[in-house]
Structure 1
Amino acid sequence: MPNLIKKLLFLLEIGNHQFDSILWKTRPEKRKTLVNDIFKFKIPIGKSKKEIRELFGHEPHIYTSMTWSYPVESDQFGNTLLSLSLYFKDEIVTSIMLK
């Protein structure tokens, strides 16, 4: 029964949920519910670009080789309202920011 409740809360986008790489990659509209877990456990910190692609997918907006950004929330027209930005030094994530 607890799993059913968790799934229902996730579908309704209520609360925060445990980060799941598959959900992040396949259900971008649900990413906002996964963000707190990413920050709480610092999931990307210390990971290489290859590991980040495996975890978060191959569709980051790459601004520079040192800054990648993944859309977290978009409006009805597909414009990004909120992004998870990953900052690299020597090909390793050193910090993350939500903007």
Structure 2
Amino acid sequence: MPNLIKKLLFLLEIGNHQFDSILWKTRPEKRKTLVNDIFKFNVPIGKSKKEILELFGYAPHIHTSMTWSYPVESDKFGNTLMLLSLYFKDEIVTSIKIENKGGIFNYLN
């Protein structure tokens, strides 16, 4: 029964949910519910670019070789409202941030 409740809450986008790489890659409209877990457990910190591609998928917005971003939330017209930005040093993620249209929110590091 608890798994059924968790699935229902996830589908309704209520609450925060455990990061799941497959869900992140296949259900981009649900990414916002996974973000808190990414920060809580520092999911990308210390990972290589290859590991990031395996976890988050092969479609990051690559701003520079040191900054990659993944869309987290978009409006009904497809405009990105929120990005998960990963910052690399020597090919390893050292910090992460959520970027909103209205500004940047630092969670960690």
Root mean square deviation, CA, Å: 0.2
State the shift of 1:22 in Å. 0.1
| 1:83 is the counterpart of 2:80 | no
Aligned to 1:97: 97
State the shift of 1:88 in Å. 0.2
- 4+ residue stretches of structure 1 with deviation over 4 A? none
For structure 1, list consecutive stretches of 5 or more residues without a partner in the other structure: none
| 1:36 is the counterpart of 2:32 | no
For structure 2, list consecutive stretches of 5 or more residues without a partner in the other structure: 100-109
TM-score (norm. length: structure 1): 1.00
State the shift of 1:38 in Å. 0.1
Aligned to 1:62: 62
Match of 1:40, as an amino acid? K
Aligned length in residues:
99
Larger relative contact order, structure 1 or 2 (CA cutoff 8 Å, min sep 6): 1
Q: 1:80, 1:61 → 2: CA distance?
A: 11
Q: 1:78, 1:57 → 2: CA distance?
A: 19
